[in-house]
Amino acid sequence: MESNNPDYVYKNVIQLNDADSSRKFIASVFLWMFVALGVSAVSAYIFASTPALYLTLFNPVTGPTGLAYLVMFAPLAFILLIRFGLNKISYPVLALLFIAYATVTGISLCFILLAFTASSVLGVFITSSLVFGIMAIAGYTTHTDLTKFGSILIMFLIGIVIASLVNMFIHSSGLDMLISYIGVAVFVGLTAYDVQKLKRIGAGLEYGEASYKKMALMGGLTLYLDFVNLFIMLLRVFGRRR
């Protein structure tokens, strides 16, 4: 499961009320999300369809290689670097880190393309897109304040991470399925919550040119994480293995 921590720290806030600013900001957020998803999809496909590249990750005799473990844990390092370097790293470097993160995440997802049938991966991807789109629209248009649900969802997310780590040792199929079902519900809720939060950031806050771009990038990262994790959880529930 990919790490998701949408509660970033932003400084130098100036209040404004501008619906056009909100729409422009959300458009930039989704643009970054789509770019990251495209990069991940391409890198996953290249590694899954190129035996020479895939063998650098998985040895048929000994199993996952050292590079495979590096690829699996590298996304967390990228997240931490981006998160804690937000106010120190320049925007171009931050953008390069985001693209690198999406690339490495895509490489790690190539195992999914080979573990599940192509038809089930495509079906779950379409389902994930529809569910994500519906919840994004709901989060953007609803007048209900979802803030109170945010802390609850984060608590469930932490529980999922802990349970997933425990299940790495006990290998319980029942617990794995329970984690997947709860994970679907959590990331469905987080999608609506994060979109509403980003809408409010775009409508009521301005950060100056450079910081505004950083905010859009970080928002794209947040929604990218929501979508990827929703896709993985749905695939674990409905995907058909080869």
**In sequence order, what DSSP letters do the residues of 109-174 get, joined into one string?**
HHHHHHHB-HHHHHHHHHHHHHHHHHHHHHHHH--S--HHHHHHHHHHHHHHHHHHHHHHHH--HH
Question: Residue 7 falls within a domain, yes or no?
Answer: no
- How much is the pLDDT for 213? 86
Residue 87 lies in a domain: yes
Q: Half-sphere exposure of residue 8, counting CA atoms within 13 Å on the CB side?
A: 27
Q: Which domain holds residue 200?
A: 17-238
Q: What is the pLDDT of residue 9?
A: 43
Residue 25 belongs to some domain of the structure: yes
CB 110 within 8 A of CB 56: no
Taking the alpha carbons of 38, 131, 173, 116 in that order, is the dihedral positive or negative?
negative
Spell out the per-residue pLDDT of the chain, length 242, in tens: 555 554 444 444 444 445 677 788 899 999 999 999 999 999 999 998 899 998 899 888 888 888 888 988 888 899 989 888 888 889 999 999 999 999 999 999 988 888 899 899 999 999 999 999 999 999 999 888 888 888 899 999 999 999 998 988 888 889 999 999 999 999 999 999 999 999 888 876 544 444 778 889 999 999 999 999 999 999 999 988 87
Structural domains in the chain (count): 1
Q: Is residue 2 part of a domain?
A: no
Looking at the domain assignment, is residue 4 inside a domain?
no
The structure tokens listed for 6 are: 């949408």
Give residue-wise pLDDT tens across range 49-84: 899 998 899 888 888 888 888 988 888 899 989 888
CA-based max dimension of the chain = 61
**Residue 22: its pLDDT value, please?**
79
Q: Is residue 11 part of a domain?
A: no
| pLDDT at residue 112 in the model | 84
Is residue 47 domain-resident?
yes
Residue 197 in domain: yes
Per residue in 191-210, pLDDT (tens digit) is 999 999 998 888 765 444 44
The residue among 8, 32, 26, 10 whose CA lies nearest residue 95 is: 32
Question: Which residues, in sequence order, are CB contacts of 103 under 8 Å at separation 6+?
Answer: 39, 40, 43
